[in-house]
Chain A
């Protein structure tokens, strides 16, 4: 099962905005509005930040936003803060055969 494609690493300065891309195909990202994003700090379990492309679970700051265009989804973090330094994983529903596909993860560094 092919993973979704994410940049391996990104960096930004405090206060800046960064956008993490997640590229799939018409069979996953492009075919369903079920893209989710997870934040993971070292040694910790993932935390859901965005689901259904644009929705934020209760408690997630509105600095985090999601979008999708065609077969590419994006997570944008505005007003970058030190605690945003973490790995970010995208995930897409891919139908009843493949179910859920994750990206390889992006390591975000706050300079």
Chain B
């Protein structure tokens, strides 16, 4: 069974930085396009970024609110996804989920981590 486990959530001051990790198991991580989705307290879900598999170019795309401040990377040898968050703002306070879609599921996510909380 596919499993994602996030870690690294923290309490950080505005302007600070934090790096989140997401450890994957039970899925072919090297082929997976991995995403980060966040949820501010009492709010809806917000897609913030995605990194393609290395075979598909390994590039990352971001939503406008985080572009230029957040970066996504992956270590396929460790089956781990990262989200580097810089220049943090109060509005970045949220639960951050890593997520992906199984084979045949496009632009939707059936595998989710439990989430990790970042408070700015």
Contact = CB atoms under 8 A, between A and B. Distances in A.
A36 B99 CA distance: 14
A105 B105 contact: no
Interface residues of B, number: 24
A3 interface: yes
Interface in A60-93: 89, 91, 93
A58 to B, nearest CB: 9
Grouping DSSP codes into helix (H, G, I), strand (E, B) and loop, the B interface class, with mixed when no group exceeds half, is: loop
B45 A45 contact: no
Contact of B63 (A1, A32, A34, A104): A1
A7 interface: no
B108 A91 contact: yes
Given A52-B106, A57-B105, A99-B61, A45 B114 contact: yes
B72 to A, nearest CB: 13
Given A45-B113, A52-B108, A89-B44, 14 more contacts: A1-B63, A1-B64, A36-B108, A36-B109, A38-B45, A45-B114, A47-B112, A51-B101, A96-B61, A99-B61, A101-B47, A102-B44, A103-B44, A105-B45
Interface of B: 35, 37, 43-47, 50, 61, 63-65, 97, 101, 105-110, 112-115
